[in-house]
Structures are given as C-alpha cells and as structure tokens.
C-alpha cells in the first residue's frame, strides 16, 4: 500500500474567536485508497482535535460530509485521494453560512424541504382494510431516481441562483416535490404547486445544470425543475386561456 504526503488546506472558522474564516494547512500521510474524509479523520485523531466537520456513514448514504474539495461540491467520503495532486483544499459547502470550520447551517434547507410537503398525500382516505395502494413498475420508474436523493445539499452548494437569491427553494426541495407529484398514489400536487410554482419556487431556476452535475447519487434535479416549469406553464395557460378546462 502506497503512502503519500498531502498538504490538506482547510478553511477554519471559530465563532468564539474569529471574525472571519482562515486557512490552516495540515500535512497528512495519506494511503492511496483513502478518501478525503479519511484524511480529515487523521487530522482530527492525530494532529488537531479541534477540527469540526460532519460525517457519519463513510459510504455515500447519509449525506453528511458534503464540502467543497478544490472548489467542487463533493461528499468527502466519495472523493478519492488518488484523484488529487499533493495539494487539496477543503472548504465548507458554498452558499451556506459557516457554523464552525467545515460545519454549515442547514436550517434553511430543512425548512424549504418541509414546506414542499415531501410525503404522500393520498387522493382519498382509505381504510387499512382496503389494502395497499397499488403501483405498477412503470409508475414506480417514473419517479424512482428522485427517491435516491440523500439530502446532502451539494446541489445547493453548486447552484449559483441559490447563492445569489437565498429565497430560492432550490434543486433538492423542488425535485422532492416533483417526486411526489409524479407518484401515482399521490394527490397533493395542487398543494405543492402553491409553493413551487411561485416566483421563489421553480422560477428562480435558470437551468445552469450544475446541480445535476455534482449530485453524488446521479439524481437529475435540473431535469426535474425543467419538467416542473413545463407543467406549471401548461397549468397557467389552462387556467387563464381555457378556464372552462379547470379541474
């Protein structure tokens, strides 16, 4: 197993003592098969126990370790050391306020996710005795890719429109709304449209496409948002030009 000395440049911020963030460089002996998260863990265990960052599963499932690695939104557990030179810069996710070191405030995203009602809203109440809601494989496939979202927020770190207009609902929240709108068992689209078809909803998106490029789970939020725009536009024309078609 080969070992390589990596200069890990980490953006640090201590709210108790710092007025603004600063870089601190650690020299880390990295094994070739390590990921950046392993290097951070090495720092925490051996060089500097004060370094703060979030992580949990180490296998791209929990979505906790999102950060900017050489300026690119990445999961630290999925960023292999062998893909980088000897100099690696690690910063907290862009577009989010820094809480401490690599830890960002995620309240804004959580609130946005909640407001699109990301859960099944059945068309009608059905007693348990009526059995399960049936769904065909084709109906499942229609939205399946969106269920792979792990709420890691890398798409928000990649989205310049979210950075520029923080009110924007953003890629993951709208994709999640779209996921339930596309679900054959769901009847909550009208409720979600009130939120996602607003100016701060899907209409802040200008299809930069960065969200889909950085998604570690290969979800396509950019595609979802364009589909929401198409559907919302058809809604608008139906509502205003053909009012007799309404519902």
Distance CA(164)–CA(155), nearest Å, equals: 14
Determine if 99 is a binding residue for other proteins (CB under 8 A). Answer: yes
Determine if 105 is a binding residue for other proteins (CB under 8 A). Answer: yes
Residues 139-158 touching other proteins, rule: CB under 8 A, are 141-142
Query: Cβ atoms within 10 A of the Cβ of 1, count?
Result: 6
Hey, is 152 helix, strand or coil? Answer: coil
Applying CB under 8 A, the site for other proteins has a residue count of 48
Q: Is the dihedral of CA 235, 240, 241, 243 positive or negative?
A: positive
Determine if 177 is a binding residue for other proteins (CB under 8 A). Answer: no
> Which CB atom, from 9 or from 58, has the smaller least distance to other proteins?
9
CB of 103 to other proteins, least distance (A): 10
CB of 105 to other proteins, least distance (A): 5
Q: What is the DSSP string of 129-190?
A: GG-PPP--HHHHHTTGGGGG-----HHHHH-HHHHH-TT---HHHHHHHHHHHT-TTB--HH
Stretch that binds other proteins, among 2-10, 79-87, 125-133, 188-196 (CB under 8 A): 188-196
Element (H, E) at 30: strand 22-31
| DSSP code, position 80 | B
Contact indicator for 204, 161 with CB cutoff of 8 Å: yes
CB of 33 to other proteins, least distance (A): 28
Determine if 235 is a binding residue for other proteins (CB under 8 A). Answer: yes
Kindly list the residues in this chain that would bind other proteins in the complex (CB under 8 A).
Answer: 13, 15-16, 18, 20-21, 71, 94-95, 97-99, 105, 137-138, 141-142, 160, 163-164, 193-195, 197-201, 203, 206-210, 212-213, 220, 222-223, 226-227, 229-230, 232-233, 235-237
């Amino acid at each position: 197993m080969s070992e390589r000395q990596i200069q890990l440049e980490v953006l640090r911020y201590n709210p108790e003592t710092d007025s603004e963030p600063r870089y601190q460089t650690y020299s880390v002996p990295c094994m070739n098969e390590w990921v950046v998260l392993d290097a951070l863990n090495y720092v925490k265990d051996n060089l500097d126990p004060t370094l703060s960052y979030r992580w949990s599963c180490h296998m791209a499932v929990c979505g906790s370790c999102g950060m900017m690695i050489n300026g690119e939104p990445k999961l630290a557990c999925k960023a292999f050391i062998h893909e980088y030179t000897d100099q690696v810069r690690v910063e907290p996710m862009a577009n989010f306020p820094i809480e401490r070191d690599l830890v960002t405030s995620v309240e804004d995203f959580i609130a946005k996710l909640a407001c699109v009602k990301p859960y099944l809203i059945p068309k009608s109440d059905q007693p348990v005795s009526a059995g399960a809601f049936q769904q065909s494989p084709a109906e499942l496939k229609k939205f399946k890719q969106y269920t792979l979202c792990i709420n890691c927020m890398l798409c928000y770190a990649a989205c310049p429109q979210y950075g520029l207009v923080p009110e924007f609902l953003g890629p993951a929240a709208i994709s999640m709304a779209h996921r339930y709108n596309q679900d054959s068992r769901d009847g909550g689209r009208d409720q979600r449209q009130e939120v996602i078809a607003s100016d701060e909803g899907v209409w802040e998106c200008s299809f930069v496409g960065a969200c889909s490029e950085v998604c570690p789970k290969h979800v396509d939020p950019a595609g979802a948002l364009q589909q929401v725009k198409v559907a919302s536009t058809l809604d608008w024309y139906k509502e205003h030009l053909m009012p007799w078609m309404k519902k």
